[in-house]
A and B are shown apart, each in its own frame.
Chain A
Amino acid sequence: MSAAAKKKNPGFFRAVGKDIAEIGTTFAHGDWRTRLSYIILGFGQLLRGQIAKGIAYLATEVLFIWYMLQVGNRYLAKFSTLGTVETTKVHRKTVYGDNSFLILLYSLLTICIIVFFIFLWRLNVRENLKEELILKSGKQLPSNKKVLASLLDGNFDKTLLTLPMIGIFLFTVLPIIFMVCIAFTNYDKTHQSPTHLFTWVGFDNFRELFATGGSGLGSTFGTVLFWTILWALAATFIDYFLGLGVAMLINKKGVRFKKLWRTILVITIAVPQIVSLLYISKLFASDGIINQTLLKWGWISKAISFWTDPVLAKVMIILINIWVGIPYMMLIATGLLMNIPPDLYESASLDGANHRQMFRYITLPYIMFVTGPFLLTQFTGNLNNFNVIFLLTQGGPLSTKLKGNAGYTDLLITWLYKMTVNDTNYRMAAVIGIMVFIVTAVISLVVYNMLPSVKDEEAFQ
């Protein structure tokens, strides 16, 4: 819906101009049915016997008007201030004032509905024009039955996509627009709906994120961003190559019980991470079993603080992520290794290549080639890998050098989570969310265009 309204091609303005012109000419040349349809949607269709379509248009218009009168206008009127009526007390009773949150939410919803309605209105005009033209040329309009039946045939895509699109709009698009707006408000713990109002503050929050001195989060943001990218790189590539190695080990000629080895590794995927990772975090606690055992054996004289030393904590997270990540990669690599065209090896061995050379010149390039896009998704996934970090360290250890509740192992995403849940600092969380989006989008775009499989599609086909 909003996707369709948001065309980005260079001829956008020209297309809009053309569109408006068409609306005008349709009105000028159209018959009275068409003209009346400009106000009463579906009117023309109804009079021309297109009952199903006409009723659908008319019902949408009635619903739209009802919504605007009942809900839309009330909220939209307060959109610019996000509410002005403060919460008051009458004796000891609380009388809540404007709810800025709901005002913003419903205003955005209303704006989206208006955009959608304009789109529908435009469709209605075009449909009238089409029908008129068909009738003028002496042809018959399709019967109502046919129109309905097309929903299962030629227009089956509309049937299939309507519900998913409504779902995505309500539960993804609208919330994202909402949170992007929050980044420009002062919605935080002291401006909490319904007790307090919040309002627009422009770019203040962005300034706070990038400011380096005083209470600015600049240096903290830099530290967290650097670790986020470092982590994503390490987690993606170490797991990738180790997983590949394990897969080759298991697939080696002569190795028996292949299925057993694979099954053992795959348990890690099956057991919910909430169970396995929380347990592991306790294992490595400074008084956990690992430390206690090492102490008992006399290998160490003082417990190792796996989770409180910033460097060690980062290393541990990467190591444990290997434990989590290898099985996935092993499965994928196993599938891929079997797919490598055998004739590649045959011709190579005829040329006298040894195992190492075959791996270096055939296996690796092939795998890298086909898994390029996969690596990219893995990488962006790791940028936002919440579970591993949060279940193991909750972002800790903290430091007096980091601000805003951030710790040394915090990724942008865990930092965002802590801001939302612990501090109810929604405005800064929204700003960080936008940063996550920018980082992900930029990296994806740059890397995607560098991928060999994108640049050179035919290499292995």
Chain B
Amino acid sequence: MKKKVVSVLLTAAMMAGCTTAAFAGETEASTEAAESFAIPSSADFEDGYDESFDYGSGEIKIWVAENVVDFTKQVAEEYIASHSALSGYTVTVEPVGEGDAATNMITDVEAGADIYGFAQDQLARLVAAGALEEVAPENVDAIKAANDEGSVAAATVGDTLYAYPETSDNGYFLYYDKSVVTDPTSLDKILEDCEAAGKSFYMEINSGWYQPAFFFGAGCTLKYDTDTDGNFTTCTADYANENGLAAMKALIKLHQSKAFQNGSSASDATNYAAIVDGTWDAATVQEAFGDNYACAKLPTFTTDDGKAVQLGGFSGYKLMGEKPQEDDAKLAACDLLINYLTSEPVQLARYNAVQWGPSNKNAQADDAVKSNVALAALNEQMAFDIPQGQYPGDYWTLATGLGDSIIGGDYDSASDDDLMAALTDFQTTCQGYAAGVAETEAE
């Protein structure tokens, strides 16, 4: 008994020792910069900064994705250091994923970040919940002029520009292994090659983001209009027709292939020879394919009557937004900082640091950006994509439901009529989301 107590104490002590040691190690190490990036100098950057204005003081909290935390921190600190009227502010940068950021902002605006990055599909939700401040009027025109059209549209609700475009690379295309896939333009051939090689083809067809590649490619539309408050007013949807049926059949055929795997995260994918994924996974895929690494626009699928249909999809954007402030001075300070964080030099530096494709037109024209293989493939695909507008949260769930049903084999032996019924159901439900919101508003 005694022995046991002693050993318990020992373990406890060991544990405590371990953690304190680790902790001490951390504090010691954190004096040196975690990772160094080439940070542009903001001294010559022209914006509405006014040396004589009282910007106040305090803390500016920024939320960005994990891999740009260090970068963002260094850029923001440099900006504040070279603009003396802002010296009262300290910057804290926290890693909060682009999906979580919106949810957290909505849960409690007051505790949320002053500036935060998010994917554009969250925009309407954020506006509706009152968690997003409009872009400062003096910046609007400059931003509309400097960034590509799609990204500006993505940051707009109604007629109001609510966010600052940050990247234009939130789209997807095909990565493939040259030694396995002989013809990246045809989905059937890709699957055939993968099956023959015993490798997998990944595409996340139960995601509302990837799934429309089939439907939009076949000529279907699904769009929502929002009012200025971010409420969904009307829905244009035509899934329940010949085109939708063709896309649906292609999805079913895809899921029946031995080589098919549902997924879009390269680092979680195993034994694959082709994957539909975005630029953020370029490094991972490159590692997996080595010298056989290659990118292309999405392939075509073949309909029952032998027609080849190019896959479409969404081109998406990442945005940065500001929280509504109760204090004019701090709002002015945040305006300056967010404008700089999404400006041309910073977008370019961000590309060089973590390969995020810029939305700024001048930055896009940079040689380094142009020569990127993945971005080139994405650009090629963009011609077939539609810019991603605003979709209600329920749409994503519904699309996952449809995808899960396909993967689960619900439609494997379904007749055309059954499929048409499912599509009609899908379409009316989608339309219902717009009407539903309008209804509650009318109350």
| A positions within 8 Å CB-CB of B | 87, 91-96, 189-190, 192, 194-196, 214-215, 285-288, 292, 295, 301-303, 305, 308-310, 396-402, 405, 407, 421-424
Contacts and interface: CB of A to CB of B under 8 A. Distances in A.
Contact of A194 (B109, B136, B261, B262): B109
Nearest to B402: A400
18 contacts: A92-B133, A92-B136, A93-B325, A93-B331, A95-B326, A189-B393, A190-B129, A192-B106, A287-B271, A292-B271, A301-B258, A305-B407, A396-B404, A398-B400, A398-B404, A399-B404, A407-B404, A424-B106
Contacts, number: 114
B408 interface: yes
Interface residues of B, number: 53
A57 B363 CA distance: 73
B95 interface: no
Contacts of A194: 109-110
Contact of B401 (A189, A301, A399): A399
B325 A424 contact: no
B436 interface: yes
What 10 A-B pairs come out closest when comparing CB atoms?
A: A195-B130, A397-B404, A398-B401, A94-B324, A400-B401, A308-B407, A399-B401, A398-B400, A309-B408, A192-B129
B110 A93 contact: no
B91 interface: no
Q: Which of A295, A398, A402 gathers most chain B CB within 10 Å? A: A398
B200 A287 contact: yes
Nearest to A204: B443
B345 interface: no
Contacts of B436: 215
Given A195-B109, A287-B269, A302-B258, A92 B331 contact: yes
B263 A195 contact: no
Interface in B191-236: 198, 200, 202, 206, 231
B409 interface: yes
Nearest to A396: B404
Q: Which of A92, A301, A424 gathers most chain B CB within 10 Å? A: A92
Given A92-B328, A195-B130, A397-B408, A292 B106 contact: no
User: Which DSSP category, helix, strand, loop or mixed, fits chain A's interface?
Assistant: loop
A402 B401 contact: yes
A405 B400 CA distance: 10
Interface string B89-106: 000000000000001001
A292 B136 CA distance: 53
A421 B263 CA distance: 24
Contacts of B325: 93-94
Interface in B234-263: 258, 261-263
B328 A215 contact: no
A25 to B, nearest CB: 53
A160 to B, nearest CB: 28
Given A87-B130, A292-B271, A398-B400, A308 B262 contact: yes
A309 B403 CA distance: 11
A295 B398 CA distance: 31
B426 interface: yes
B432 to A, nearest CB: 6
Contacts of A92: 133-134, 136, 328, 331
A425 to B, nearest CB: 10
Contacts of B125: 189
Contact of A405 (B261, B271, B397, B408): B397
Contacts of A287: 200, 202, 261, 263, 268-271
Given A94-B325, A407-B404, A424-B129, 18 more contacts: A92-B134, A93-B325, A96-B326, A190-B231, A195-B129, A195-B324, A196-B130, A286-B261, A287-B261, A287-B271, A292-B270, A301-B258, A302-B258, A396-B404, A397-B206, A398-B206, A398-B401, A405-B394
Contacts of A196: 129-130
A288 B268 CA distance: 9
B320 interface: no
Contacts of A305: 262, 407-408
B129 to A, nearest CB: 5
A281 to B, nearest CB: 12
B67 interface: no
B437 to A, nearest CB: 8
Nearest to B271: A292
A4 B409 CA distance: 57
A418 B6 CA distance: 45
B378 interface: no
Contacts of A195: 109, 129-131, 324
A192 B132 CA distance: 13
A286 to B, nearest CB: 6
Given A399-B404, A424-B107, A192 B130 contact: yes
Nearest to A192: B129
Contacts of A399: 401, 404-405, 410
B327 interface: yes
B106 A308 contact: no
Interface string B407-419: 1111000000000
B422 interface: yes
B425 interface: yes
